[in-house]
A and B are shown apart, each in its own frame.
Chain A
Amino acid sequence: MKRVFVVLLAACAALATGAPAEAATLDNIKARGSLNCGANGQLPGFGMPDAQGIWTGFDVELCRAVAAAIFNDPQKVKFVALTAKDRFTALQSGDIDVLIRNTTWTLSRDTQLGLNATGINYFDGQGFIVRKSLKLNSALELNDAAVCVQQGTTTELNLSDYFRANKMRLKSVTFATLDEALKAYDTGRCDAYTTDASQLYSVRLKLARPDEHVVLPEIVSKEPFSAFVRHGDDQWFDIVRWTIFAMLNAEEFGITKANVDEQAKSDNPEIKRLLGTEGNFGEALGLTKDWAVRIVKGVGNYGEVFERTIGQGSPLKITRGQNALWTKGGLHYAPPVR
């Protein structure tokens, strides 16, 4: 008993002196043989297990991409389902190596929590859904509308901000849970329903007649999703950040899961640098030369992953919108590999 106590004290002391003596995260992962990735356990399209118990979703595929870059095997990931409450603690305490769980990048999260956002992987924002029969084309026509919203969320605050900024009158009807708010909207208690756009699409399927409802084009808040890593390990930060850049660059150059081997023979210098047939950029990251090939072979490029998990190939059918590449009118712009 006494010995245990002494050991515990020593542990606390070690922590207090700020010496969790973090070995490089990458080395830990390699020694362990798998990546520990914090994910959302129940957000359709982003992270949840399917009926066979296999994890699916956009965030989940990004975790697999990181694993593919390290191990050349996208299956070497251990997913840890996290709630909104315990997600940051799990990362801070080292339970997970990277957090990819539809987490909005904000200044306070980037600074006060001892974490770093690695870069935007999905542009989300709050949107509205209304009945087609109302014949609305824009959220600006919602003056005097009753809007169903979940209580005590940033969604509720954004809603009132938006109406105030546009000098519209708001009758918000608040509910404790998303489900109740949706039910109220479905039964005609409200004219519109609002939540993050990424969820509007899955939520629409729960309505009695989904085809009679339409998502309005306006996005009234900025919710950029990013992966998070701990402060203090820049190499690991670079790996996570560049995994997503590699997927974006691969899409830009037309490199897909199917044609990646062919593309590796390309003469295009940009493709050669990305796929490691020229230069040793992968080694600079602490990975191998063919790191990008591994990623694309393992999960596909950004566009492929998007369409498969949340886009047209999924029940959600989210359009690319802001998440298209900069060359196609979207916001995704990955720095060059050189």
Chain B
Amino acid sequence: MTDLAAGPESHVAFVRTTPAPHVARPPLPGGPLHWVRANLFATPLDGALTILVILLAWWTVPPLLDFLIFDAVWSGSGRDACLPSAQNPDPGACWAFVRTWFSFFIYGPYPLAERWRVDVFFALLVFGTAWMLWLDAPRRDLGAAFFFLALPTVSFVLLRGSTTIGLEVIDTALWGGLLVTLVVASVGIVVSLPLGILLALGRRSTMPAVRLLSIGFIELVRGVPLITVLFMASVMLPLFVPPAWSPDKLLRALVGIAIFASAYMAEVVRAGLASIPKGQYEAARALGLGYWRMLALVVLPQALRVTIPNIVNNTIALFKDTTLVFFVGIFDFLRTIEIARVDPAWATPVTSTTGYAFAAICYFVACHFMSRYATGIERRLAAGDRR
């Protein structure tokens, strides 16, 4: 080793004395072509799948766009507008029909002069929902009180009417369209969350009576399909009680849906409760907190935070399940479209397709919004874990 340390004069053949020249790094694989190769055609199977998907899109997307947009009929006053004609030999979606019936899709048979009440309800609902969903909103405790207590009461009085405050009473048989869908969905959510939490706590309770009742309720309701609950409520219940006591049709469906949603919500919340380590309970006890304060201050805030994505998921499912009230003769959003599409004044070969396309778009937009919200919340919660 002394040879090497001898200084610059010593010439050893395998040691270079000048620095190597800088050479540009070899090109990294890159560029659009590489991306395509790496992502779309990495293996023969990938390649085949890619071609299949492109072909599928090629076959479905252009005709869909043609139908929904390019060949669509946007204005007109009757079926003649949407029938094949010289200018438009193969008419697409008949949006003129949706425009004519639009107010029916929103309000159903709700009396024309009183529809401002529904508009106010929509505004209140949007306000309350935004307050609840916007996590940085001021006074969210007030927001919760508004959403869970004030909103249902005010909405009921507003929509149904009350002679004492001079609002004409509108029978629920006249409610319909988006109004009913939103009422059913929001009642389901507003009732199922608190009731679900109570049931979940009941199921984890150490008191046998409470636990058995909770388990019995949850398992019984989860064990039957929603449509069965609705049929029971709307067909069987009136046979058991005298007509004077029989609640109206919408209320029966609401109770059915609320019970059903609560059972599912209970299981979601229970999963959240189970995820809280036992140490948290013990620490809360050690601080001298009682059962309810332990739940309110330590356990539930953590448990609910974990379950928010699942709660939103449940909400999406519930929102779509509301279409089942269709089967018990309530005019929900989908049912109003079902009615409108048989209107002889608009009877054309494309009317039904247009109606269903409109329903699909509306439901997709609503559900997509909810799922985006859930994703946002998830990301926000995950930020805490990443730290």
Q: Name A's interface SS.
A: loop
B331 to chain A: which residues have CB within 8 Å? Answer: 41, 49, 81
Q: A41-B329, A202-B342, A202-B347 are in contact. Are A53 and B238 (CB under 8 A)?
A: no
CB-based nearest A residue for B90: A208
B104 to chain A: which residues have CB within 8 Å? Answer: 49-53
State A179–B348 Cα separation when bound (angstroms). Answer: 12
Q: Which of B127-135, B150-158, B240-248 contacts A (4 or more CB under 8 A)?
A: B240-248
**Which of B99-146 touch A at CB < 8 Å?**
100-101, 103-104, 107-112
- Please indicate which of the listed interface residues B249, B327, B328, B339 has the most CB atoms of chain A within 10 Å of its own CB: B339
Shortest beta-carbon distance from B255 to chain A in Å: 14
Q: Bits for A197-208, please: 1 = Cβ < 8 Å to B, else 0.
A: 000001001111
Shortest beta-carbon distance from A115 to chain B in Å: 14
User: Are B243 and A179 touching (Cβ within 8 A)?
Assistant: no
User: Are B173 and A79 touching (Cβ within 8 A)?
Assistant: yes
State A142–B108 Cα separation when bound (angstroms). Answer: 43
Q: Is A45 an interface residue (CB 8 A)?
A: yes
**Count of B residues near A, CB < 8 Å?**
46
Residues of A in contact with B, size category? 35 or more
A202 to chain B: which residues have CB within 8 Å? Answer: 342, 344, 347
Q: Is B340 an interface residue (CB 8 A)?
A: yes
User: Are B342 and A53 touching (Cβ within 8 A)?
Assistant: no
User: Are B239 and A92 touching (Cβ within 8 A)?
Assistant: yes
**Which of A71-89 touch B at CB < 8 Å?**
78-83, 85-86, 89
User: Are A49 and B109 touching (Cβ within 8 A)?
Assistant: yes
State A93–B249 Cα separation when bound (angstroms). Answer: 12
State A85–B326 Cα separation when bound (angstroms). Answer: 13
User: Are A11 and B245 touching (Cβ within 8 A)?
Assistant: yes
The residue that A81 contacts in the complex, of B110, B171, B329, with Cβ under 8 A, is B329
Q: Bits for B310-333, please: 1 = Cβ < 8 Å to A, else 0.
A: 000000000000000001111100
Shortest beta-carbon distance from A13 to chain B in Å: 11
Q: Is B204 an interface residue (CB 8 A)?
A: no
User: Are B344 and A314 touching (Cβ within 8 A)?
Assistant: yes
State A14–B240 Cα separation when bound (angstroms). Answer: 10
User: Are A94 and B238 touching (Cβ within 8 A)?
Assistant: yes
B330 to chain A: which residues have CB within 8 Å? Answer: 81
Could you give 23 example pairs across A and B, Cβ below 8 Å?
A12-B240, A15-B241, A42-B338, A44-B342, A48-B342, A48-B343, A50-B104, A51-B101, A52-B103, A53-B176, A78-B171, A79-B109, A83-B327, A83-B328, A86-B235, A86-B329, A89-B235, A89-B238, A93-B238, A94-B242, A95-B238, A179-B352, A205-B348
